[in-house]
C-alpha cells in the first residue's frame, strides 16, 4: 500500500510518508519533483520521508515515486505513482 498524500505540518498526523511494507522483503524507493530531480531515495523500508529536500522546508506540490520491491516469494515488482504534499 502506498499513501497518495501527506501533510508535514507538525500536527503529528500524516507528517511522514512511505509505503506500508506488507509482504515486502527488500525495496528501493525514489521520489522525483516535477522537474525530474530526485528529492528522496532510500532502500530502508522503515525510513519515512518528511518532505524536506536539501534542508528546505516542504511546500505544497505533487511528486512522482518509483518503487522496485521483492516479495517474500522472491518475485520482483515495479510500481510508480504520485504523492501530494500538503502543508
pLDDT at 57: 87
Q: SS3 sequence, the chain? A: CCCCEECCCCCCCCCCECCCCCCEEEEEEEEECCCCCEEEEECCCCCCECCCECCECCCCEEEEEEEEEEECCCCEEEEEEEEEECC
Q: Average pLDDT of 30-41?
A: 96
pLDDT over threshold 90, residue 87: no
pLDDT cut 90: percent of the chain above it: 79
pLDDT over threshold 90, residue 77: yes
State the Cα–Cα distance between residues 66 and 87, nearest whole angstrom.
Answer: 23
Amino acid at each position: 500500500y502506498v499513501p497518495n498524500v501527506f501533510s508535514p505540518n507538525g500536527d503529528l498526523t500524516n507528517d511522514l510518508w512511505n509505503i506500508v511494507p506488507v509482504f515486502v522483503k527488500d525495496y528501493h524507493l525514489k521520489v522525483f519533483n516535477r522537474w525530474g530531480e530526485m528529492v528522496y531515495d532510500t532502500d530502508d523500508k522503515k525510513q519515512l520521508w518528511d518532505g524536506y529536500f536539501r534542508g528546505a522546508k516542504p511546500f505544497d506540490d505533487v511528486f512522482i515515486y518509483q518503487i522496485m520491491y521483492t516479495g517474500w516469494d522472491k518475485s520482483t515488482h515495479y510500481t510508480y505513482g504520485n504523492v501530494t504534499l500538503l502543508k
